[in-house]
Amino acid sequence: MYTLIACVLILATAQAGPASGVEELVRKLRSRYDKIDAPGCGQRPLAPGNGVSELTTRIVGGKESMPYTWPAICSLRYVQEPNNHICGSNLVKNLAGEYYLITAAHCLNDTRASRYEAHCGIHDRADESEPHRIIVHFNNLYIHSGYNSWTMDSDIAIFKVVTSLPTNMFISAVCIPNEGWTDGEISIVAGWGALSSGGSSPYKLHQVNKPIKPRSICEQRYGVGAITPRMLCAGLPNGGVDACTGDSGGPLYTYRENRWTLTGIVSWGHGCGEVGKPGVYSDVIELKDWINTVLNFL
């Protein structure tokens, strides 16, 4: 990898001129391909075989998750309305081992970090007696400067966690991917969102499997201008499985190299599970430079 970076450095020096521009290019390349989060991420309290076997079946068309087997997912809420689920979210760790929470920017009507809390280590979002539940608070909120509420471009936000969290099988970080997704790669979406378009939301965490669609299919379904380079699509040709209201900000997980990675963030779509309308997600690998800056340089 660093041989490639060295070659790019030589070419960039010849073309770009100022050293500062070259250094920025190299930083971006390293950020894209290097690991930017702490070791030990992406583990679940299931044997690897059991985890992979789930990659066969929103959360429309999905099923209830096995309790406490997605330890990175949290329910984002307002401090003043702690019983009302707003959006999904996911715990990640920086290189120093500090926790952050990633969600979708469109979930946030208030830009003050102190107005939010996340309930982590849960399965039933309404059961306050669950033994692993921890309420997480924040001291900083970072919203991507390129976020556009009209186009939903760069739909990502990150909270800095101030609550002390245990690292165990019930609460832990998901991995940031080191490489991009592939066409047809099977992913899992999880959340507490509605089970049908306009329908009720479950109290218990649900999940569903979805193949990631080629960009050409996504653009064909929504139009070239609607799908930016920072978006990806996932879904079945005949619909029936999808994320829905309340799943926003939650994960699109993929299983790679014996660990679970946050490949996408639930962002938008046309209805829930409609035929020919795959769900649209913020593409984490395309936003990795910004994520790295927030996690490790701010």
- For the stretch 264-286, pLDDT in tens is 999 987 655 455 678 899 999 99
DSSP 69-109: --TTEEEEEETTBTTS--EEEEEEEBTTS-EEEEE-GGG-S
User: What's residue 238's pLDDT?
Assistant: 53
**How many Cβ atoms sit within 10 Å of the Cβ of residue 46?**
15
- Catalogue the active-site residues: 106, 155, 248
pLDDT per residue over 130-175, tens digit each? 999 999 999 999 999 999 999 999 999 999 999 999 878 899 999 9
Distance CA 229, CA 232 (A): 8
Confidence category of residue 19, pLDDT binned at 50, 70, 90: very low
Mean pLDDT of 205-212: 91
Residue 33: pLDDT over 60: no
Tokens of 93: 């760790």
φ/ψ of residue 2, rounded to 5: -75, -25
Q: How far apart are CA 6 and CA 188, in angstroms?
A: 37
Q: b/e per residue, 281-291, with b = 16+ CB within 10 A? A: bbbbbbbbbbb
**Sign of the dihedral defined by the CA atoms of residues 16, 292, 69, 82, in that order:** negative
Reported as a pLDDT band with limits 50, 70 and 90, residue 14 is very low
Instruction: Give the Cα separation of 1 and 174 in Å (integer).
Output: 24
The CA angle 135-47-193, to the nearest 5 degrees, is 45
As a whole number, the mean pLDDT across the chain is 82
